[in-house]
Amino acid sequence: MDYNDTKPVILTKNKNKTHSQVSKVMSKNFSSSGKKKVDPADELPKQQFIGKDIGKIIQQTRLNKKLSQKDLACKMNMDSKMIQKYENGTAERNGNILNKLGKILGVKLTGKGV
């Protein structure tokens, strides 16, 4: 059996770049302060928080049902600190968690008008 079905590979040493070539490449990628330039299209979208208005709805509904943050957290299978963040409006918007909170509390927290 003959396994010579590949092309031969020839390795050669690349020429070293001159100092001016390296500085041109560096100047394209770095600003004068030494920080790498970031293309605005490459930036991550800003985090969206639920807001204090939805947090107030969660808190008022929880209090009306006579649930503590710890009780609600147990029903949600999450830490009570996350419930606190949702009530303060500082939690990152997550539709799945808001839907689950809405079902447990009996209110609508997602969709139009919320």
Q: What is the pLDDT of residues 43-83, one digit of tens each?
A: 666 778 888 999 999 999 999 999 999 999 999 999 999 99
For domain 52-105, give its CATH number from 3.30.70.20, 3.40.50.80, 1.10.260.40, 1.10.10.1100: 1.10.260.40
- Measure the CA–CA gap between 105 and 3, rounded to whole angstroms: 69
**Mean pLDDT of the residues in the chain:** 80
| pLDDT for position 50 | 87
- Measure the CA–CA gap between 49 and 86, rounded to whole angstroms: 9
% of the chain beyond a pLDDT of 90: 46
Q: How many CA atoms lie within 13 A of 94 on its CB side?
A: 11
- Measure the CA–CA gap between 55 and 14, rounded to whole angstroms: 61
Residues 104 and 75: beta-carbon distance below 8 Å? yes
Look up the pTM and report it: 0.58
Q: What is the pLDDT of residues 21-36, one digit of tens each?
A: 766 766 666 655 556 6
Q: Where in the chain are the domains?
A: 52-105
- Measure the CA–CA gap between 11 and 14, rounded to whole angstroms: 9
